[in-house]
Chains A and B, each alone.
Chain A
């Protein structure tokens, strides 16, 4: 310690801060990666049971080591670089896909005090990060120099940009209720039992948010960006080995992120549903797990949307619904029933 403080001189405090922050980042990213790994297993198990199959059960007890085996397999596979591809961008694509998915976690609160960066514009920051995620897909599709990949990336970009608008409007409703952009304050605004959570007064917005979230993450039934039956695998058709795995990780990390946001903004975050039970991070994890289960349930239930139906749903159904409900909320706040919306 003495040696280091001598080495850095007056910068010692800054260096300490940076190192301490890095440790905290690892403490968030590492469990997240494990969650992502086991979400893939959960997906195969859940969909397996829904289709009256067993799912993976060979590697470890109940297939518990399957994610590790998958990871190792992908790690040892050759990364093929298409000759006609744009080399630099081909590698930047996966990085740009996964970086925002992790960066957004900087402002996510896990508890009243447990948060990496407690910033005032937290909601805006998350919105900005999720909107940047689209670059990974676009760049990957273009740099591959393949028709299928390019079509997939165009589909995905158009879809993400359209649903982002509806998603942004639902967040406007939340911040009108909470009077704050800080995620911690939004959760604390829902204190006092599940009838105070925002999903009740903002029910249409909650539904629109979650469906848009499914569309944003390119999950079934909105997974036309992959569309195995039409364009093979969409934007990541040319990727193999670890580069492909990074796209996979980004998709699942994004799923966990949007589920977490849905829980924080509409389902009371770490608050317990009834006043006599203590608030704890366990509630948060249970709620997020339920939202993730819905993702898997959707995938096992619904057939893929047709592309024009996706666009119609986003632009002509969701955006009008959110606009009308924001006006309803704003009008109600001026009446004697305003307490219902706070």
Chain B
């Protein structure tokens, strides 16, 4: 057993543990955080495969952006846990059946002899995972890549349009109007004499006291 094997088993154990905790923990915020941990360890396993671009992209996109927004929503929701658990036993047979189906499918894929990669080719010394991936994406797979981008754009525009509602009673500010405000719109400078006439000097008699 070499060092990388030990690292792999440690990471895999953490990944499995956090994956199970995502669905068993009662607190939704904890579940989201365990999902973050699962992403992290998955990225670590990818790093062991020398797929550094995919590993870092996983952290950057899922941990850095998607899960932050996810946590955002989960934290603000007031979730009634007991209500969520209500129909658990009712749905269990159906869920178990679907789970079993997925396991069977995965085993069939993994057991297929043709799908085994065998020994991976040794990478050259100055091999850059990122550069290779970029070259393939923008030459051989240019069309599917751009199509995926367009689909994402459409989904984004649709999500915004679906949730955009003009409210009549909302009070909003116009920032460009605010930026254009000049001093003279808000402030009036009044010119006054700088000196005021000194009051009459006090009578001499009082001074002597």
Q: Could you tell me which A residues sit within 8 Å of B by CB distance?
A: 11, 14, 89, 119-121, 124-125, 127-128, 131-132, 134-135, 138-139, 142, 150, 154, 157-158, 161, 164, 181, 308-309, 312
B36 near A: Cβ within 8 Å?
yes
Chain A nearest CB from B64 CB (Å) reads 3
Is B65 a contact of A131 with CB atoms below 8 Å? Answer: yes
B175 near A: Cβ within 8 Å?
yes
Is A139 a contact of B33 with CB atoms below 8 Å? Answer: yes
Within 8 Å CB of A135, what residues of B? 36, 68
**Which of A161, A181, A312 interacts with B175 by CB under 8 Å?**
A312
Within 8 Å CB of B75, what residues of A? 138, 142, 150, 154
Chain A nearest CB from B90 CB (Å) reads 31
The residue in chain B whose Cβ has the minimal distance to the Cβ of A15 is B3
Question: Quick one: given A139-B33, A142-B75, A150-B75, are A131 and B63 in contact (CB under 8 Å)?
Answer: yes
**Which of B52, B53, B71, B130 interacts with A138 by CB under 8 Å?**
B71
Question: Quick one: given A128-B56, A131-B65, A181-B130, are A14 and B3 in contact (CB under 8 Å)?
Answer: yes
Main SS of the interface on chain A? helix
How long is the Cα–Cα vector from A312 to B56 in the complex, in angstroms?
A: 29
Is A120 a contact of B52 with CB atoms below 8 Å? Answer: yes
Is B130 a contact of A161 with CB atoms below 8 Å? Answer: no
Is A308 a contact of B64 with CB atoms below 8 Å? Answer: no
21 interchain pairs, CB-CB under 8 A: A89-B29, A121-B53, A121-B56, A121-B129, A124-B57, A124-B60, A127-B56, A127-B60, A128-B60, A134-B64, A135-B36, A138-B68, A142-B29, A142-B75, A150-B75, A154-B72, A157-B71, A164-B64, A181-B130, A308-B175, A309-B175
Chain B nearest CB from A166 CB (Å) reads 14
Digitize B61-98: 1 where CB-to-A-CB distance is under 8 Å, 0 elsewhere: 00111001101100110000000000000000000000
Total A-B residue pairs with C-beta atoms closer than 8 Å? 66
Is B56 a contact of A132 with CB atoms below 8 Å? Answer: no
How long is the Cα–Cα vector from A138 to B73 in the complex, in angstroms?
A: 12
**Which of A120, A125, A127 interacts with B128 by CB under 8 Å?**
A120
Within 8 Å CB of B29, what residues of A? 89, 142
How long is the Cα–Cα vector from A124 to B173 in the complex, in angstroms?
A: 38
14 other contacts beyond A121-B130, A124-B57, with CB at 8 A cut-off?
A11-B3, A120-B52, A120-B130, A124-B60, A124-B130, A128-B59, A128-B63, A131-B63, A131-B64, A132-B64, A134-B68, A138-B68, A138-B72, A154-B72
**Which of A119, A139, A157 interacts with B52 by CB under 8 Å?**
A119
Is A120 a contact of B129 with CB atoms below 8 Å? Answer: yes
Within 8 Å CB of A312, what residues of B? 175
How long is the Cα–Cα vector from A161 to B68 in the complex, in angstroms?
A: 8
How long is the Cα–Cα vector from A164 to B52 in the complex, in angstroms?
A: 21
A-B pairs with lowest CB-CB distance, top 3: A131-B64, A128-B59, A124-B56
Is A131 a contact of B60 with CB atoms below 8 Å? Answer: yes
The residue in chain B whose Cβ has the minimal distance to the Cβ of A161 is B68
Chain B nearest CB from A73 CB (Å) reads 32
The residue in chain B whose Cβ has the minimal distance to the Cβ of A119 is B52
Chain B nearest CB from A142 CB (Å) reads 5
Chain A nearest CB from B51 CB (Å) reads 10
How long is the Cα–Cα vector from A89 to B37 in the complex, in angstroms?
A: 14
Within 8 Å CB of B59, what residues of A? 128, 131-132
How long is the Cα–Cα vector from A314 to B56 in the complex, in angstroms?
A: 24
Q: Which of A14, A128, A134, A142 has the most CB of B within 10 A?
A: A128
Chain B nearest CB from A162 CB (Å) reads 11
The residue in chain B whose Cβ has the minimal distance to the Cβ of A130 is B64
Chain A nearest CB from B62 CB (Å) reads 10
Is A157 a contact of B68 with CB atoms below 8 Å? Answer: yes
The residue in chain B whose Cβ has the minimal distance to the Cβ of A165 is B65
How long is the Cα–Cα vector from A132 to B69 in the complex, in angstroms?
A: 13
Is B33 a contact of A124 with CB atoms below 8 Å? Answer: no
Within 8 Å CB of B33, what residues of A? 89, 139
Chain B nearest CB from A325 CB (Å) reads 21
Chain B nearest CB from A128 CB (Å) reads 4
The residue in chain A whose Cβ has the minimal distance to the Cβ of B72 is A157
Chain A nearest CB from B164 CB (Å) reads 15
How long is the Cα–Cα vector from A176 to B68 in the complex, in angstroms?
A: 29
